[in-house]
Chains A and B, each alone.
Chain A
Amino acid sequence: MKNVQKFAKHTNLIIGLLIVVGFFSVMIVSFFYTPFDVNVMNIPEKLRGPSSVYFFGTDEFGRDIFSRIMKGTQTAFAVGILTVVIGVTFGILIGAIAGYVGGWIDEICMRFMDALMAFPGIILALMLVAIFGPGIVNTAIALGIIAIPGIARITRSGFVQHRDAEYVLAAKLIGVNPFKIMFRHILPNISSQIIVAATVTFATAMLAEAALSYLGLGVQPPNPSWGRMLKDSQAYLMSAPWYIYAPGGAITLLVLGLYMLSNAFRDFMDPRSKS
């Protein structure tokens, strides 16, 4: 039984890492090379099935789906990374101040976070995109804002737990300034929880981007986005059923990989799971 659990732990890490690193390599390659130009139409070749020339077939404009999936990793990673950067930066800042200072500052920060959390994420993103306009950066900003409360909560609970720890008292005694106590002493001690949360945020952001693009509000054509491709493929579900598999599979696989990775991180960093 123990061996099975041990193996399960490692499979999460190995498979998760393989998937994510695989997609990441595809993204790097896509900057320099794709089998076909992703935006050049070739109407005579439209809606071809998978073949040795077009691995995943072609879309309604005769563009190579495989090339567009490759290029789509750029969108996925760009949105994911930007979202995580925004969410983690502001989440840590707000959570750290709320948790460390406490009192009414804590109340105000956390009630504001609650308010933000009370909105269904996708509706809030829709609203923000409607205000700022669609596009990769705006989508990422909207998703980043949605990610802030989750990170802030985790950070806050960590800081509340640690602010009265004896090592923090000791640091106060020798005159370490509060900013340094927060970010040099406490933060490294709760970074593992934040890393896990950030990985999940990454996956959620990617899903949300696909959803927004599916609704036509995320990444704008002709830039390839998996969500957008999913939407476009819908119209040809009967005549070209293979079209939907590529973007759908790509989204599923990458999100799965990220979730597995975050599970593996949690298992490795949580001292309680180590026996």
Chain B
Amino acid sequence: MPKKEVLLEINHLKAYFPVKRKSMKEEKKVVKAVDDISLEIYRGETLGIVGESGSGKSTFGRTILKLVEPTEGEILYKGQQIQHLKGSNLQKYRNQMQMIFQDPFASLNPRMRIGAIIEEPMALQLTLTKEQRKKRVKELLQKVGLAEDAMHKYLHEFSGGQRQRIGIARALAINPEFIIADEPVSALDVSVQSQVLNLLMDLQDEFQLTYLFISHDLSVVKHISDRVAVLYLGRIVEIGTKKELYANPLHPYTQALLSAIPVVNFDEPKQAIPLQGELPSPMNPPVGCVFHTRCPFVMGKCHQVRPTMQEMNEHQRVACFLYDK
């Protein structure tokens, strides 16, 4: 495999939110939604981010776009630092990336016509005449599999899957290179999910897009991703190529997650690894390894020291003491 170009590099990214205190006496608390995440995304690939709800995966996506201010850390886009950008410089950066949102009922303005929704980003960020924009709206609608006359309609005339297609068309309107898809199919029916996923993959081929695909659904991530990162309480516990990670999960959390995917195979009954307890509060994460409260292989060291990411092989990195050499 040829060495790939790094499109986006993230170093030690943190996003903390202060918690409102009930009284002045209480100590200041923060929610560590994103806690020291480092990874890189290569041009043209799809990086899947999985994690349970509350693991900070959506916040991570939003921090990259600076919709959430990063508390610490670096975001490098094509080698350029962008975490300090503001105003028009920030907009220039954002124009190269777009976001597809989870809930197609909330992410589109119900008071605007479809044409206006898709046209708006072009009108603001591209220098096109009105006719050119209209033409492009029609093209985009066609690309995402909707009829041209949809542009004159309002949202309530469309189903969830169709709305998500409209959201995708809007995201594509200003020719971005990088798209953050924040649970784009979790609000949809299973039958519609695969249609939208396939549409996303087709568009990726056509426009050479790079995706950051956030989801809690392991099967969906497996379908679309090239590489996968597993998030737990705002930290990456394991990252690797899809093949390696699904075939040979290293971190106990990944193992437990994968064992929970339902499979129809009666010859080889799977052993599900049950996880004890609940996801700890990100306001007060466990000291040491964040996963030690629920880990079946917990050791003494896990209670005190935080494991760092270590390279296991060419394709896989994991943060776990089980693999200390």
Contact = CB atoms under 8 A, between A and B. Distances in A.
Interface of A: 165-167, 169-176, 185, 188-189
Contacts of B94: 173-175
B107 A174 contact: no
A188 B109 CA distance: 9
A172 B124 CA distance: 11
Given A167-B108, A170-B170, A175 B91 contact: yes
Contact of A165 (B62, B67, B106, B167): B106
B99 A170 contact: yes
Interface in B125-140: 125
Contacts of B62: 169
B325 interface: no
A176 B102 contact: no
Contact of B111 (A166, A170, A175, A189): A189
B110 A189 contact: yes
Main SS of chain A's interface residues? helix
Interface in B82-107: 91, 94-95, 98-99, 101-103, 106-107
B65 interface: yes
A175 B173 CA distance: 13
A165 B94 CA distance: 19
Interface residues of B, number: 25
Given A170-B101, A174-B120, 10 more contacts: A165-B107, A166-B103, A169-B62, A169-B67, A170-B99, A173-B67, A174-B121, A174-B174, A175-B91, A175-B95
Contacts of A185: 109
Nearest to A176: B124
A189 B125 contact: no
A240 to B, nearest CB: 55
A167 B100 CA distance: 11
Contact of A175 (B99, B106, B108, B124): B124
From B109, B110, B121, name the one whose CB has the most chain A CB atoms within 10 angstroms: B109
Nearest to A191: B111
B189 to A, nearest CB: 20
A189 B95 CA distance: 26
B101 A175 contact: no
A212 B1 CA distance: 84
A191 B62 CA distance: 29
A189 B107 CA distance: 13
Q: Which 3 A-B pairs have the closest CB atoms?
A: A166-B107, A174-B121, A188-B111
Interface of B: 62, 65, 67, 91, 94-95, 98-99, 101-103, 106-111, 120-121, 124-125, 167, 170, 173-174
24 contacts: A165-B107, A166-B101, A166-B103, A166-B107, A167-B106, A167-B108, A167-B109, A169-B62, A169-B99, A169-B101, A170-B108, A172-B67, A173-B65, A173-B98, A174-B94, A174-B98, A174-B124, A174-B125, A174-B173, A175-B121, A175-B125, A185-B109, A188-B109, A189-B109
A6 B320 CA distance: 64
Contact of B99 (A173, A176, A188, A189): A173
A271 to B, nearest CB: 10
A171 to B, nearest CB: 8
Nearest to A170: B107
A25 B67 CA distance: 53
B178 to A, nearest CB: 12
A116 B169 CA distance: 47
Contact of A176 (B67, B120, B167): B120
Contacts of B174: 174
Contacts of A173: 65, 67, 94, 98-99
B119 to A, nearest CB: 11
B107 A167 contact: yes
A46 to B, nearest CB: 58
A173 B107 CA distance: 12
A9 B102 CA distance: 36
Contacts of B99: 169-170, 173
Contacts of A170: 99, 101, 107-108, 167, 170
